Amino acid sequence: MFGAVFAGAVILSEDRPVRGLNDSKLLEPQRREVLAERIRERAVAWAIGAVDAATIDRVNIYQASRMAMRIAVNRLHPAPDFLLVDAVPLELALPQRALIKGDARCHAIAAASILAKVQRDACMRAWDRIFPEYGLAAHKGYATAEHCRALEQYGPTPLHRLSFEPVRAQSRFPLDSGGQLGLFDTAGAA
């Protein structure tokens, strides 16, 4: 419900394997941190892409996730010659294969998932220092009971995703049918 969506892209080295790669959601936070460091050290290339909450509200989380994935892929150097992507094909001029549950089936996708999760968690810890009343360091912006209580008490921050129902329900600004903030009436007055 809070902040940017992150995506990772990784080209793993055949000569420097990283053992223990798995779906980032199945790994303990400390293990993800260790694996992320190993991935960054051993990969041929790695990159992170992020798309902010305002864009998520404008285009939806699915399209924003795809945008973040494209950003990450385009930042890889050297560039890949083939993509294995987690579930959704991307509009890129590269041959590719989308794998359902790719982060559980493919080491490169798992590595990308770990890097993205570690980066997002680090951002949530940083934003927690700015907005401590929301508990972002603990729940990482997800829709926990603690986060929902904070939204009820304090309302959303400028970094909350207003297109997500629990946030929208606490916002004093309505969204129009296209997901845009409705700050002005039809006459243009505030």
Domain chopping of the chain, boundaries? 5-131
> Looking at 62-76, 120-134, 138-152, 163-177, which range is the least confident one?
163-177
> Among 42, 49, 31, 50, which residue's Cα sits nearest to residue 114?
31
The average confidence (pLDDT) of the chain is 91
Work out the number of other CB atoms within 10 angstroms of the CB of residue 155: 13
> What's the whole-model pTM score?
0.88
With beta carbons less than 8 A apart as the criterion, state whether 137 and 125 touch. yes
**What are the start-end ranges of the H helices in 43-144?**
53-59, 61-74, 102-105, 107-130, 136-139
> Is 185's pLDDT higher than 90?
no
> Among 118, 125, 124, which residue's Cα sits nearest to residue 37?
118
- Between 188 and 39, the more confident residue is 39
- Between 178 and 87, the more confident residue is 87
Contacts of 187 (CB under 8 A, 6+ apart): none
Helix (H) or strand (E) holding 8: strand 5-11
pLDDT digits (tens, 9 = 90+) for 99-116: 999 999 999 999 999 999
3-state secondary structure of 21: coil
Confidence (pLDDT) at 174: 58
Confidence (pLDDT) at 171: 82
With beta carbons less than 8 A apart as the criterion, state whether 109 and 22 touch. no
Secondary-structure class of domain 5-131 per CATH: alpha beta
